[in-house]
């Protein structure tokens, strides 16, 4: 079988599935990626094909259409790459795509017979991400909501031509309108729990001088971008009371300052600059010296930090679940998370972690300080967190078989199209008239949702 993965930052959620397929000589596996410079080297037997956008978005474009243009440009680049592959004789039997960036938009124009499977990460709605959840930031008006809806275009345009769809959490699947939701299979992103495991003797060095081990009090926080969407502002406001309560604790903050899911501050600063400006004056020099920003780090370094962590903090708006939470659980961290969806799907309070109100920085500081003072509870929560990930999210024994079954159905079974059941035959009986009227009303509601 010939399989094409489409993800600009491949392998993403497809790592175990793609590597397993590529290891089988019966399969040819390629991936379209967003590399910009040299042709990318193969990844674990998967041939990577670069399709960088031909240009940046133009200035002066209608603001509602800026995201749509970026998606179209990426789709155009991927389409040209597909045409080159077709000219070289490659025709995929199956395409597995994350459509969110737009790369897969036009691939069925090139390969109309290929079976298409989608990764349904999120259906954007007013009230999601930065749009109204956090009272600190004013809810956007009509214009922002309209632009947000347009981010859903790749999903909407793909839906009629896709044969199967997966989503990594129940909550993320449920963000899709009901008519689309019924076609989604929930399969968690897999974690390599054998490799991402506790390391009692781990030692990390910060700034070439500070050595931290499991014997130290290490509090970790990790996000691709330090921004309110991932609770960075709440974390920062918890630091003054936390560092006073725990005078030996060190806080290690992983994440960059560019990009992100939400908007930048109105001041023109990035969120780190703004919050350091707000919070540093509330701490003395010795306390501030125990706060360590390490920027974005290689994945192996992140895992090392998590292995050294005494308590890991994971905060998020109701949004896509970050893999770092599952990785922290897999290495046996005691995790304090925000009481938000979909965090609650994996952190059961008192069992696999502790939950706090997203907005309560004081409660966050007190909860972390309590855990730092209670080694037996940290140990119990860490052990149970790892057991949960092994049972529900292990990339080899749990999620890979589910993904393989899903792919097999996508490749060959007509049933995976999941067509709606036919309506009952027409009847003049009063109960059937009433039933048809009810069904018509339900359909009208679904049309409004869509």
Please, what is the average pLDDT of the chain?
88
Which single residue is written with the structure tokens 């730092």?
372
Residue with more model confidence, 141 or 79: 79
Confidence of residue 419 (pLDDT cuts 50, 70, 90): very low
- pLDDT at position 147 over 80: no
Does an H or E element contain 242, and which? helix 232-245
Averaged pLDDT, 157-170: 93
- pLDDT at position 87 over 50: yes
Classify 397 in phi/psi space as left (phi over 0), alpha (psi -120 to 50) or beta: alpha
Would the CA dihedral through 261, 392, 22, 411 be positive or negative? negative
Of 189, 188, 199, 190, nearest to 303 by C-alpha is 199
- pLDDT at position 420 over 90: no
Which single residue is written with the structure tokens 């592959």?
85
Confidence of residue 265 (pLDDT cuts 50, 70, 90): confident
For residue 93, the 8-state DSSP code is S
CB-neighbour burial class of residue 430 (10 A; exposed 0-12, middle 13-18, buried 19+): exposed
Confidence of residue 429 (pLDDT cuts 50, 70, 90): very low
Q: Report the pLDDT value the prediction gives residue 65, as an integer from 0 to 100.
A: 84
Q: Report the pLDDT value the prediction gives residue 233, as an integer from 0 to 100.
A: 97
Q: Dump pLDDT digits (tens) for 277-321.
A: 999 999 999 999 999 999 999 999 999 999 999 999 999 999 999
Phi then psi for 185, rounded to 5 degrees?
A: -100, 130
Averaged pLDDT, 70-99: 95
- Is the distance from CB of 97 to CB of 18 less than 8 angstroms? no
Q: Dump pLDDT digits (tens) for 234-264.
A: 999 999 999 999 999 999 999 999 888 877 8
Q: Report the pLDDT value the prediction gives residue 268, as an integer from 0 to 100.
A: 85
Q: Report the pLDDT value the prediction gives residue 367, as an integer from 0 to 100.
A: 98
- pLDDT at position 438 over 70: no
Q: Report the pLDDT value the prediction gives residue 249, as an integer from 0 to 100.
A: 98
Q: Report the pLDDT value the prediction gives residue 128, as an integer from 0 to 100.
A: 54
- Is the distance from CB of 164 to CB of 117 less than 8 angstroms? yes
Whole-angstrom Cα distance, residue 81 to residue 108? 13
Averaged pLDDT, 141-168: 83
What percent of the chain shows pLDDT beyond 90?
Answer: 71
Q: Report the pLDDT value the prediction gives residue 435, as an integer from 0 to 100.
A: 37
Length of the chain: 450
Whole-angstrom Cα distance, residue 383 to residue 364? 22
Averaged pLDDT, 98-112: 95
Whole-model pTM: value is: 0.86
Please tell me the least confidently modeled range out of 19-28, 162-171, 176-185, 293-302: 176-185
Q: Report the pLDDT value the prediction gives residue 412, as an integer from 0 to 100.
A: 86
Whole-angstrom Cα distance, residue 277 to residue 306? 27
Whole-angstrom Cα distance, residue 6 to residue 30? 9
- pLDDT at position 422 over 60: no
Pairing of the two strands 210-213 and 203-206: antiparallel
- Is the distance from CB of 390 to CB of 193 less than 8 angstroms? yes
The angle at the Cα of 27, spanning 23 to 29, to the nearest 5 degrees, equals: 80
Q: Report the pLDDT value the prediction gives residue 92, as an integer from 0 to 100.
A: 98
**Helix axes 66-87 and 142-150, enclosed angle (nearest 10):** 10
């Amino acid at each position: 079988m010939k399989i094409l993965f489409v993800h600009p930052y491949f392998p993403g959620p497809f790592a175990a599935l793609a590597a397993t397929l590529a290891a089988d000589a019966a399969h040819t596996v390629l991936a379209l990626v967003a590399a910009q410079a040299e042709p990318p080297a193969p990844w674990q037997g998967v041939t990577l094909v670069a399709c960088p956008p031909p240009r940046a978005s133009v200035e002066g474009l209608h603001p509602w259409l800026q995201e749509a243009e970026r998606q179209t440009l990426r789709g155009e680049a991927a389409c040209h790459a597909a045409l080159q592959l077709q000219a070289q004789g490659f025709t995929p039997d199956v395409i597995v795509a994350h459509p969110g960036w737009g790369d897969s938009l036009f691939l069925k124009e090139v390969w109309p017979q290929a079976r298409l499977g989608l990764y349904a990460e999120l259906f954007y709605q007013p009230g999601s991400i930065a749009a109204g959840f956090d009272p600190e930031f004013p809810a956007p008006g009509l214009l922002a909501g309209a632009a947000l809806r347009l981010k859903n275009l790749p999903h909407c345009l793909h839906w009629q031509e896709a044969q199967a769809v997966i989503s990594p959490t129940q909550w993320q699947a449920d963000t899709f309108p009901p008519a689309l939701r019924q076609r989604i299979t929930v399969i968690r992103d897999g974690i390599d729990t054998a490799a991402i495991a506790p390391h009692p003797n781990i030692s990390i060095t910060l700034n070439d001088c500070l050595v931290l081990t499991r014997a130290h009090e290490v509090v970790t926080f990790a996000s691709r971008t330090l921004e309110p969407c991932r609770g960075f502002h709440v974390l920062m406001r918890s630091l003054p009371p936390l560092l006073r309560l725990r005078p030996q604790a060190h806080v290690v903050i992983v994440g960059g300052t560019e990009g992100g899911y939400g908007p930048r501050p109105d001041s023109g600063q990035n969120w780190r600059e703004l919050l350091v400006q707000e919070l540093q004056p509330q701490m003395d020099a010795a306390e501030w010296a125990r706060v360590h920003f390490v920027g974005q780090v290689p994945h192996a370094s992140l895992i090392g930090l998590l292995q050294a962590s005494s308590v890991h903090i994971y905060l998020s708006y109701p949004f896509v679940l970050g893999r770092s939470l599952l990785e922290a659980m897999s290495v046996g961290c005691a995790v304090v998370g925000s009481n938000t969806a979909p965090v609650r799907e994996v952190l059961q309070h008192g069992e696999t972690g502790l939950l706090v109100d997203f907005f309560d920085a004081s409660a966050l500081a007190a909860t972390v300080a309590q855990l730092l003072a209670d080694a037996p509870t940290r140990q119990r929560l860490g052990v149970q967190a790892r057991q949960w990930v092994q049972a529900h999210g292990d990339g080899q024994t749990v999620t890979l078989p589910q993904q393989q079954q899903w792919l097999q159905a996508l490749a060959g079974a007509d049933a995976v199209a999941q067509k709606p059941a036919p309506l009952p035959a027409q009847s003049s009986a009063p109960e059937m008239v009433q039933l048809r009227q009810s069904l018509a009303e339900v359909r009208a509601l679904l049309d409004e949702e869509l």
